[in-house]
Structure 1
Amino acid sequence: MRPTLAPFPATRLRRTRRSQALRDLCQENVLTVKDLIWPIFIREGEDLADPIASMPGVARLSIDRAVRAAEEAAELGIPAICLFPYTDISLKTEDCAEAWNPENLSNRAIRAIKAAVPEVAVMTDIALDPYNINGHDGLVRDGIILNDETVEALVRMALAQAEAGADILGPSDMMDGRIGAMRRALEGAGHTDVAILSYSAKYASAFYGPFRDAVGASGLLTGDKKTYQMNPANTNEALRLIERDLAEGADMVMVKPGMPYLDICRRVKDEFAVPTYAYQVSGEYAMIRGAADQGWIDGERAMLESLLAFKRAGCDGVLTYFAPAVARLLQPAV
């Protein structure tokens, strides 16, 4: 039970806000570099950094540049990066077979990064949209997104990424039953230590637009993703999805997008007390960065405040494109 406060003036709540020292002593949540996962986009080529117009300051990196980014992450103390491929249109097909090609862009990048910077955890994305000529996260037949056939394809994708050396698999597809199928396959193949950070509560959101530009999916999507991604109006459904994924073998869970869904983060953490993450998605990044570039807000303060909000909502970590900038700001003064 919450204690009853003494009446004013015995209680003056401003006392502990009077100076920076007192504010620091009473701060309830702290953002550290260890809370950050840095999503990066990768592309074919050598020594290339291809700027993404809708995400100022973010670029698609060739594998050699991605290795440099991983080295930067290590230097800054960022514990993990997450890879998202920009797949050439010639490799996008209806059967999405490039998704489990051992020599695809993602798997080559995993191997290169783990060889150069083994201490940085590599997280991957598991969904078919980078390889699907229809732009969907699952296989499509007669306009219908197929669940069970997609799960079989995702398992093949997961095994290829685990074999390449991925530390964390991030299924973002929202198909039913995929976590259990992946966990069984990983155990059977001897990949017992590969973690699954499931995009368990992924909403059908308007905030993904710049990301789709970044991976080359914007012009390909036919229809929408509402038959498998969540209705933004729902909260109890998110808890059912989290519970199911944990029961099927997920080690960590994620809410996506982030800031518009902080209430979901809080409910998940309170209900399950498991490692809980959020993705500060491309639209959230673009809004803050765009307003900062126009001088309408203080970019650094808004960036840090937005990430601290995730910690306040119960998140153990955040995927954010701001990761390197935040890490530099959080470096101890020398």
Structure 2
Amino acid sequence: MPPDVDLSDWEKEQSWLREKAREAGSLSAEDNAFLDKGIAQRIREKLERRAASQWWALFGLQGHKLDSLKDEAQFICGLDKVFIHPKPSNLLSPATGARRSYSVQYLTKQGEPATAEFIAPPPSRLLELMLCGFFRYGEHWIYLGRSTNNTHYQPEQWIVLPDTDEPNERLGLKVEVSGLQTHIAPGAVFSSLTNKGKMRLAEDFGSQGTHAEWLQSIVDNLTTSRPWDAPLSVRLAGEYATGGFPLAELIANGTHIKGQKVEVISGNPFDLRPENLRTKSSRGRKMTCSTCKKPATAKDSEKVRDSTGSTLRVCRTCLDWAAREIAYQKTPQKN
């Protein structure tokens, strides 16, 4: 940079970071390992906090305990009453006696901040007890497909993982770096990026200092929690697009059959007993109202002709609305 240019301290720092970031694409194996190890450790800490806060929000406030193996067994029995088939007790790995203490921050019903401390299994087991991750069902791996509800992932139905996919990690951990790359292995977040991605990450999250301080700043800034703009996120199996087909289809038909769908008779997506399933054809065009576009059936709709002579299907709600509009228009209006 020309020596006669007078830059502010901020401009000088940005210039230094851009220049230093060019080294990110050609770091030594030791530096790459340092970054991967540091980020992986922060991910483990992030999962620990998540497991603790999620458990407390779902079950701790209800009085459930996991202090001992007996408490854990009782909790699993409770899961079996909700998840009828397959039963969690047949999916979960054997319990161990390992326990540790947790401390979480939460809001009381009155909206006051409070701290809770409790004893429970290690984070990975705690997440497993909340049915996060992959589970073995016969010769297949299954997982709970989940939909996002605000910041929580609500379980929807059991999904069979494609046979071509073999999970190398029970929780199905995938890391996403905002704007760079998705579904990265948690143990190789930095080294798995392209050289261009590494340089961009270094420029966005590095800080000025010695080479060692610069490396540490990348780890610190990347993993710092920023609710409004989280640069790094961690998801578990079922919280991202994994593929597969509903477990109901496997139980009812032995596999996924194109043109057929399986319905749960009771309406409970977690009661997949064979006698509670029925297979129906999914072929053909689904009926919809031509006006409101909502699903319709022959019973709650009628075929009508428009001014061009075309036949349209209109639901009774829209027909009633149209009838009221016509009646209103024919009614003499007072001046």
Asked whether the two chains share a fold, i.e. TM above 0.5, the reply is no
When Rg is computed on C-alpha atoms for both structures, the one with the higher figure is 2
> TM-score of the superposition, structure 1-length normalised?
0.21
Which has the larger share of strand?
2
Which has the larger share of helix?
1
